[in-house]
Amino acid sequence: MTDTYLNLVNSGFTKKIAKQLGLPRPVPLRRHQPGRPLVDGPVLVLGTGEDADTVAHVLAGTAALSGASLAPGWDLDVRRHPAQGERYAAVVLVLTGLTHPDELAAPVLALGSTLQGLAPHARVVTVSRPATPDDGPAVAAARQGVDGILRSVAKELRNGATGNGVVVADGVPVTAPSVLGALRFFLSARSAFVDGQLLAVDSDGGSLPLDWDRPLDGRVAVVTGAARGIGAAIAETLARDGATVVAVDIPAAGEQLAAVANKVRGTALQLDVTAEDAGTRILEHARTRHGRLDVVVHNAGITRDKLLVNMTPDRWDPIVAVNIAAQLRINEQLLTSGDFTEEPRIVALASTSGIAGNRGQTNYAASKGGVVGMVRATAPLLSAFGGTANAVAPGFIETDMTAKIPAVTRQVARRLNSLQQGGQPVDVAEAVAFLASPQAGGVVGRTLRVCGQNLVGQ
């Protein structure tokens, strides 16, 4: 759906009027296009110590990984010290060695000195360690302080710039595949609507792709609810990244489903995900038509909004059945089949409503909060096979569903995030594709918000 306001404040006379009146002026976001550079300009790496030096060498393409080859596909113009008048496309702040809050001032203030001169659509990315119960109070305070710094900086950025963080578990090197994968994702235009988020890397699992543009080559992915909207965008994005896609949706959406499957050169499976044997039928289709199944994206979902005082079983039960119970049943059938064991990936669609709640959506929030809990508990069941389960939690995304929101409410919802606009289905799809990829193998049981740093919850 078109955001008319965004177009108006970025064109001609109305742009000048909006500036004079102090109105919100969101800018069109820079989204991924194959063949486009990872970033458009120099990258500044701030921080001291071995990890900062290593990250700088990786980004410059001069670091050897696993003692053999150089880091593939980077070759960025890397600087190590701020220069007056320099216009940076990205700033990476490496803070893995913190031992006391006193150590935050120098690197963070150095970051601050660059913010006014950042290029449009710039990226600020922190690399840090998590605060854990095993840390001393000073170490924990310093590490937790990074969380507050990153989220605050993200709210100060303008012109389509974003701020995100990679939180690396103790014992995991900064050269681990998922650290580099997450860093690349946050630097890239694939993360255009991801803002103010800190993604944890829990292990050194996963692997770096030979081709960053096609990390899913040879993989077979199932996408439920694929006939339109976010599901169709996910199918297209996974196919773009090299996957063979099985598009799944209810028989009533058969014509649209076939169009999506044809567009991505995959196959269509007409199936109600609430069927008792849905998981078995998905696996059978994938194996029969494509020889294997590697990725399952649980996108199918419905809403039946009503204030709790007016909630009835006919509005509650279908939400739980489609949005979470079906996923649990399908996962169980896949996990017990013995045929979902080659570095499998499960990516489920949660929602910011399931994290922060939303008026009139107790049923929906219960189901989407359930998704967050489900992936956290499912991930360990896949770890023996090198697999992962994670979730993506969209905020306000421009879809047919949000188009039905009253006009004034829709405009307010669009502006209630740091990027001051709604996201696009492709923004959710990009996050799903990253979590489904080999380079996300160390991200385990996590939920990544795609919400433009929506001003709710975390």
Judge contact between 144 and 177, C-beta under 8 A. Answer: no
Rounded to whole angstroms, the Cα distance separating 222 from 241 reads: 14
Same domain, 270 and 179: no
Same domain, yes or no: 177 and 229: no
For residue 181, the tally of other CB atoms under 10 A from its CB is 28
On whether residue 428 sits in a domain, the answer given is: yes
For 26-32, what is the mean pLDDT? 91
Residue 25 has a pLDDT of: 78
Domain CATH code at residue 377: 3.40.50.720
Residue 363 lies in a domain: yes
Same domain, 197 and 225: no
Predicted confidence (pLDDT) per residue in 386-409, tens digit: 999 999 999 999 987 777 777 777
In which band, very low, low, confident or very high, does the pLDDT at 196 lie, cut at 50, 70 and 90? very high
Summarised one tens digit per residue, pLDDT across range 354-378 is 999 989 999 999 999 999 999 999 9
Kindly state whether residues 189 and 239 are assigned to the same domain.
no
pLDDT in tens, 281-340: 999 999 999 999 999 999 999 999 999 999 999 999 999 999 999 999 999 999 999 999
Mean local confidence (pLDDT), 193-201: 98
56-65: average pLDDT: 87
The verdict on residue 19 lying in a domain is no
Could you tell me if residue 49 is inside a domain? yes
Residue 18 lies in a domain: no
Task: Please choose, from the candidates 390, 386, 291, the residue with its C-alpha nearest in 3D space to the C-alpha of residue 331.
Answer: 390
- What is the chain's mean pLDDT, rounded? 93
pLDDT score, position 66: 60
Round to whole Å and give the CA distance between 10 and 35: 26
pLDDT above 90 for 16: no
Average pLDDT over residues 12-17: 72
Q: How does residue 55 score in pLDDT terms, banded at 50, 70 and 90? A: very high
The pLDDT of residue 402: 73
Instruction: Looking at the structure, tell me whether residues 168 and 233 fall in a common domain.
Output: no
pLDDT score recorded for residue 17:
74
One domain, residues 178 and 234: no
Please state the rounded mean pLDDT for residues 251-278. Answer: 98
Specify if 225 maps to a domain: yes
pLDDT tens for 106-135 read 999 999 999 999 999 999 999 999 999 999
**Residue 413 placed within a domain:** yes
Both 308 and 407 in a single domain? yes
**Residues 195 and 226 placed together within one structural domain of the fold:** no
Identify the pLDDT of residue 310: 96
Estimate the crossing angle of helix 229-240 against helix 254-263, to 10 degrees.
20
- When pLDDT is averaged across residues 342-356 and rounded to a whole number, the result is 96
Same domain, 243 and 192: no
Positions marked catalytic: 364
Looking at the 3D structure of the chain, how many domains does it have?
2
Q: What is the pLDDT of residue 10?
A: 78
Structural domain span for residue 184:
31-201
For 75-107, give the secondary structure using H, E and C.
CCCEECCCCCCCCCCEEEEECCCCCCHHHHHHH
- Assess if residue 58 is contained within a domain: yes
Q: Does residue 233 share a domain with residue 157?
A: no
Decide: pTM greater than 0.85. yes
Alpha carbons within 13 angstroms on the beta-carbon side of residue 68 total 2
For residues 112 and 250, membership in a common domain is answered with no
Q: How confident is the model over 411-457, as pLDDT tens digits?
A: 777 888 999 999 999 999 999 999 999 999 999 999 999 999 997 65
User: Which residues have CB under 8 Å from 280's CB, separation 6+?
Assistant: 333, 337
pLDDT exceeds cutoff 90 at 67: no
Specify the pLDDT at position 69.
Answer: 56
Last residue of a domain, one of 150, 172, 201: 201
- Which two three-digit tokens encode residue 404? 């039905």
Residue 456 is predicted with a pLDDT of: 60
Beta pairing class for 162-168 and 123-128: parallel
pLDDT attached to residue 399: 82
Same domain as 274, residue 143 = no
* Percent of the chain predicted with pLDDT > 70: 96
